[in-house]
A and B are shown apart, each in its own frame.
Chain A
Amino acid sequence: MTYVPYAISAWVCAVGLYGIVMSRNLIHLAVCLTVTQSSTYVLLLSVGYVQGGGPPIFKGVKLGTTSVDPVVQALSLTDIVVSVTVLALVLALALDVHRQAGTVDPDEIAAMHG
């Protein structure tokens, strides 16, 4: 059982990649990208989890109480910002693509462009 969280993160990563490769719509593809990235937060937070540990916030908690790892949480925060920015950029590009080509299907766009 102690391995399940990691396996699930690998599963989410694979599912996201599958979605990206199969996607016929850039907006759909952008969301698949965020799903793939969500595997990284799940993995990071699972790595830093300590059984029976509380959050690494010592407001009203005695110092030295077992708590989960704070570093992975800081990393996940950065990772989430990256995911928002990438989503916004890819969607902005998708909107421009739609304006120029009238479609958001990557296959059609490639065919138009030659």
Chain B
Amino acid sequence: MSWIPPLLVAVPLLAAAVVVATDHVLPRRVEDLIAIAAAATTCALGVVLMLRSERGDVIHWFGGWNPRGGVAIGIDFVADPLAAALAALVGGLVLVALVYSWAYLEEAARLFDTLMLVCCGAMCGFALSGDLFNMFVWLELMGVAAYALTGFEVKDIGPLQGAVNFAIVNGIGGYFVVIGIALAYARTGALNLAQIGQALTQSGSRGLVIVAMTLVVCGFLCKAAVVPFHLWLADAYAVAPAPVCAVFAGVMTDIGLLGVARVYWTVFDGAFAADRAAVGDVLLSLGVATALLGGAMAFLQRHVKRMLAYSVVCHVGIMLAGIGLLASEGLAGAADVLLAHGLLAAGLFLTTGIVIALFRSVDELQLLGRARGRPLLAALWFGAALGLAGPPYVGLFVGHSLIDDAASATGRTWLPPLLWIAGALASASLLRAGARMFLGLGARRDRLLAPEMKERPPARGTRLSVLAPVTALVVVLGLVVSVVPGLPQRTEAAAERFRDRPAYASFVLHGSPAVHGPRAAFALEPASLESILYGFGATMLALALAGWGLYRPELGGSRVLQPPARALKAVHSGVIGDYVMWLTVGTALVGGIWAVTLR
């Protein structure tokens, strides 16, 4: 038994309660310090747990209720390196967001700290939990805190609408998860992931297992904002305060994907061992569709935060495609993309926050040339935006290259170009916006871009001495992910373990520790030539597309592009009824396809 896993949840949650309880006694700065200390502790514990778990999985049975005769009677946290690393990233980004908001937000800070800490604890709990219903509890807790944080700017209609759409779509996703849990429980009489997986491997009734998998996976995909469950995301992320967005975009979205990967490899992998490809292909197709649509939608925005929101959708798609390959390299690639993207996307949102504070606008066209003479901001922005495209050995490159390897190993050579192009599209839109804002390049008007929003962002704190270093730190960390010695090998080893269902089950239910190979060396392995070429090509493509986007109105071609652009925008209507309709369509589609292919 290790004492670390419960602390990752207990420390931030207890700190949240303390902040509320002492609100009228302690001065605000002391409360901020409590919150910052709690987030820092969470991050540090996450790192320690990751290093510990590299030597072997770490388990904690709450209440000391160890399983009896293979029947789990309590709830467990199981830390593997991937989950622990995610928890560390959660703690780190929440820490960054709290420090940033210390200089950025002026009002209602107590409630902000409280909700951020609750969200932090919930995300850690979700990442580590080994119990299906417990995962649902953390999912809901994360959601409840996140809805309120989205509506933080209550004096404007945009944030409120974003929060409503967020709450309703994710709420329904949660109900689907519960129905899926009820199905699994009815069949297996268990809530522990390992135990359900064990029982489902033996039992028949395919229909039930297929429907349960559909509901649980689709519920998590709502959180991960995968097409067609993604519509709420841009509404919410466009309006939440920048530090909140940094956490949402950096980890909260991706955590839904961890949920999908976790339940697939602990619960359903055994039941569908014979037709894995049919399960994976659906995830893979959803991933590719999400990546391409996210990239295209990002390109059509002029509201910078909305553009960033769609670039998050795009990268979530890339990660899901990596997971959908159902191979260790693919999963490792997704994890490395997650890490680099989490840091870079957070950095971009934080940079946007500084731009809002200085220039009181988030509109690319309005900001044309206004941010000239800000070399540091410009460097952060362009660096992070290029890093998202993944030039050789920068930013997302290493994750992409692992996914490339997995794709070619499974004979899917068509996949890498699509993913690289999607990433280049998202990157190009950000580069275009950067060129307009920081360099003053490009046309003054572009009717292809989504119409301007009416709201005006409120004035913000502009203590650049705090804001800029924090932002720079995150961006730099994101850029160097690809040259961390040994990272790809170690994520791959971790992914290999993550996918090993029988070993996981016997470890959890019978306490037999799995045998692991020695730790991977801290070596820098060269990527395949293909990946280097792809990375180089994607960067060039992103730059070219950005240039084209800047001067497109003068080059013509609007007539061809206008109708599809308008159709895409019409789908992203902002009406909650439409969103729930798409959610239903998506679930019916996924379930229908699996019903046909897996039966």
Direct contact of A and B (CB under 8 A): yes
Residues on A lying within 8 angstroms of B by beta carbon are 13, 17, 20-23, 26, 29, 33, 36-37, 39-40, 43-44, 47, 71-72, 75, 78-79, 82, 85-86, 89-90, 93-94, 96-97, 100-101, 106-107, 109-110, 112-114
Contact with A along B147-189 (1 / 0, CB 8 A): 1100100111110110110011001101100110110011000
Residues on the A chain within 8 Å of B397, using CB: none
By the criterion CB–CB under 8 Å, are B160 and A96 in contact? yes
Interface size counted on chain B using CB atoms at 8 A: 40
- Inter-chain CB contacts under 8 Å: number: 106
By the criterion CB–CB under 8 Å, are B179 and A20 in contact? no
Rounded to whole Å, the gap between the CB of A94 and the closest CB of chain B is 7
- B144, CB-defined interface residue at 8 Å: yes
By the criterion CB–CB under 8 Å, are A37 and B574 in contact? no
What 7 additional pairs, Cβ within 8 angstroms, besides A40-B178, A82-B140, A106-B577?
Answer: A43-B179, A43-B182, A47-B182, A96-B154, A110-B575, A112-B157, A114-B453
- B584, CB-defined interface residue at 8 Å: yes
13 A-B pairs with CB atoms under 8 Å apart are A20-B580, A21-B577, A36-B172, A44-B185, A47-B186, A71-B191, A78-B137, A89-B148, A93-B167, A94-B164, A97-B160, A100-B157, A110-B575
Say what secondary structure dominates the interface of chain B: helix
Rounded to whole Å, the gap between the CB of A66 and the closest CB of chain B is 16
By the criterion CB–CB under 8 Å, are A110 and B164 in contact? no
By the criterion CB–CB under 8 Å, are A86 and B171 in contact? yes
Most chain B CB within a 10 A radius of its CB, from A39, A44, A109, A113:
A113
By the criterion CB–CB under 8 Å, are B156 and A100 in contact? yes
Contact check: which of B155, B178, B179, B574 meets A100 at CB < 8 Å? B155
- B451, CB-defined interface residue at 8 Å: yes
- B573, CB-defined interface residue at 8 Å: yes
Rounded to whole Å, the gap between the CB of B207 and the closest CB of chain A is 13
Contact with A along B30-57 (1 / 0, CB 8 A): 0000000000000000000000000000
By the criterion CB–CB under 8 Å, are B580 and A100 in contact? no
By the criterion CB–CB under 8 Å, are A40 and B182 in contact? yes
The 9 A-B pairs with the shortest beta carbon distances in the complex, nearest first, are A110-B574, A47-B186, A40-B178, A110-B575, A100-B157, A106-B576, A43-B182, A97-B160, A21-B577
- B382, CB-defined interface residue at 8 Å: no
Given the contacts A40-B175, A40-B178, A85 and B453 also touching, CB distance less than 8 Å: no
Residues on the A chain within 8 Å of B575, using CB: 106-107, 110
